[in-house]
Amino acid sequence: MWECMLRPEDYEMEEWVKIQQEETKARTSKVVPAQDQEYMSFLVKYNEQVFGPVEEEFDGTFLIINDIFAVIYAPKSMVGEIVLNSFSYNSIPKCYTYMDAESLQASGVLRLHNHPYLALRGSGTMVAVIDSGIDYQSPAFRNGNSSKILEIWDQTIPEGPGEKVPFGRVFTKEEIERALASENPLEVVPSADENGHGTMMAGTAAGRVIQEEGFSGAAPEASLVVIKLKPAKEYLREFYLYPEGADLFQEDDIMLAIAYARRCAQRYGMPVSICIGLGTNKGSHDGYSPLCQTIDYMAGFSRNAISIAAGNEGAARHHYQGVLERDMPEDTVELRVGERTTQFSMEFWGSAPELFSITIQSPTGESLPVSTALRGNTQDLSFVFVDTRILVNYVPIERYSGNTLVYFRFLHPAPGIWKLRVQGRDVNGSGFHIWLPVMGLIPEDTFFLQPSPYHTITSPGDAQDGMTMTAYDYRDGGLFPLASRGFTPAGIVKPNFAAPGVEIKVPLHGGGFGTASGTSLAAAQNAGVSALLFEWAVIRGNEPFFTGYSVKNYLQRGARRDDGMIYPNQDWGFGKIDLYHTFELLT
């Protein structure tokens, strides 16, 4: 099956064929491979018109995500150790985590809710939230025993494949309402939001109006589809050296969730606004990841739009930017490693066509060079005077971006100041970037001594055609201090817009309301705003074939821009969203 879409130079064709031949004989578990810890996931390019249809019946080891990607599940015992040069960098799923750390009036939303002629509230539209699930018992999503949730796909439930999904379980509106009418709802629909992040996102985007709480989502009459992502598998956590217990979700599951949201929209005949409040610092930050490509692919279809968090990395000191010139052909990067840091990964991305060499110096002054010749292997750097190992993969030309990738994994790093001496071969304004993991995935006492707050948009916020949202405080108009800044290294304008995201009222899992901050909440509000635009354009017949591009362009025209400031800029993008102003410009 797999050989139809795998090229030898990309995925070691012969090895994959061997795995395919042995996999069926070896598999004895009844757990679906997508949920089985003993299976690895690999993202591959797949198009039926190019490679032909998959002839054999679905056995859980190969899933088509959309017209450009599929995911292969292969037994760990037959794949062996992951080495970046053995598999394409982008075939290994990245891990994503949460981007969080009276707002509706600032976005011009309440004026449209109450406008005598427009009265836009999201009726007839769908908002899809891909996150930690939802507290479907919250008053933000129910009116008595009536629920505004059409479907919940819970990827964590060990079932599948089903009629609608390849793994997990789908709960329908009828089942949810039956649960709400019962004495023990979770016995009828056993899906909960243990973290609460998804509940906040769904409420911000499309929660009901609750007058006594002074609360409303941006699109209070929009229907909801919720995808509860399953946790990332242990082998990925170990490969990326992420801390135990961190909330992480893997790339292929998010891509499958996007595809599911689109199918739901087609089934119900509704335009869909998708919300993603997750992010990672892995990748080139130029929109080349499979998830970014999936978002760009979706944005071109009518009746689909995707809002994404910009990230909260602006003040984290997790990014370093360097430029090598002919008169300064070398740069020294200083990285402080704290006492609480036991392991971490780090990525160096050098701009093409330059080829870079790197030497690492420990806090004791011992220096070791990174080999540029071991392209098919992992280099193991061991120091004499400190008990530290650094595993390094050097990829001179990464397949999608064309840039140089150097992937570092620090094991038991000695605390103190580590130095990276970076040199170029044909120096002529050659730039490079280094990113540490996002906040929450590395201790706060590990950071660059001379960081740059720019180019810190997390992925998939670097997807060119998605709407990437930064956050501001609607009370004083100031930018959220932690917000990631743009642009992308390739110069793509990110963030696109700003929306309120500082201490806004949100529903809490388990009941009640509170406040929260973060760019993911700005993305949620924009998802609701996009649903209002779809109501005007599609449901009311003003623009029946409205696309994600259309939504972005309309909001771009109506964004509020301060006098004396140049737009687009790296902090605000094209400005603060103001949907009411968008409609003012249409008249």
Whole-number pLDDT of residue 162:
87
Task: At 60, list the tokens.
Answer: 């859980």
What residue ranges do the domains of the chain occupy? 2-80, 103-314+469-586, 319-448
Residues of the chain with pLDDT under 70: 1-30, 48-60, 85-87, 101-118
What's the sign of the alpha-carbon dihedral 243, 245, 251, 254? negative
**Helices (runs of H) and strands (runs of E) counted in the chain:** 14, 29
Which residues, at least 6 apart from 566, have a Cβ–Cβ distance to it below 8 Å?
none
Task: At 277, list the tokens.
Answer: 């409040």
Strand partners, 70: 44, 64
Given this structure, which CATH class describes domain 103-314+469-586? alpha beta
Task: At 297, list the tokens.
Answer: 């692919």
Smallest CA-to-CA distance from 212 within 141, 115, 139, 315 is with: 139
Whole-number pLDDT of residue 1:
39
Task: At 328, list the tokens.
Answer: 């300064």
Whole-number pLDDT of residue 59:
59
Whole-number pLDDT of residue 88:
77
Whole-number pLDDT of residue 121:
87
Order across the sheet with 497-500: list the strands.
169-172, 149-154, 223-228, 126-131, 272-276, 304-309, 467-472, 497-500
Smallest CA-to-CA distance from 109 within 224, 219, 199, 272 is with: 219
Burial of residue 339 (CB within 10 Å: 0-12, 13-18, 19+) is exposed
- The pTM for the full model equals 0.93
Task: At 566, list the tokens.
Answer: 């140049």
Q: Please report the DSSP string for 234-251 in residue order.
A: HHHHHHHTPPTT---EEH
Smallest CA-to-CA distance from 75 within 15, 119, 12 is with: 15
Rounded CA separation 295/298 (Å): 5
Which residues, at least 6 apart from 476, have a Cβ–Cβ distance to it below 8 Å?
none
- CATH for 319-448? 2.60.120.1290
Residues listed for the chain: 587
Residue range 340-364, pLDDT digits in tens:
999 999 999 999 888 899 999 999 9
Mutual orientation of helices 548-558 and 290-299 as an angle, nearest 10°?
A: 80
Residue 210's φ and ψ, nearest 5 degrees, are -125, 95
Tell me 89's DSSP state.
G
Tell me 207's DSSP state.
P
Task: Tell me the one-letter amino acid at 488.
Answer: T
Tell me 371's DSSP state.
P
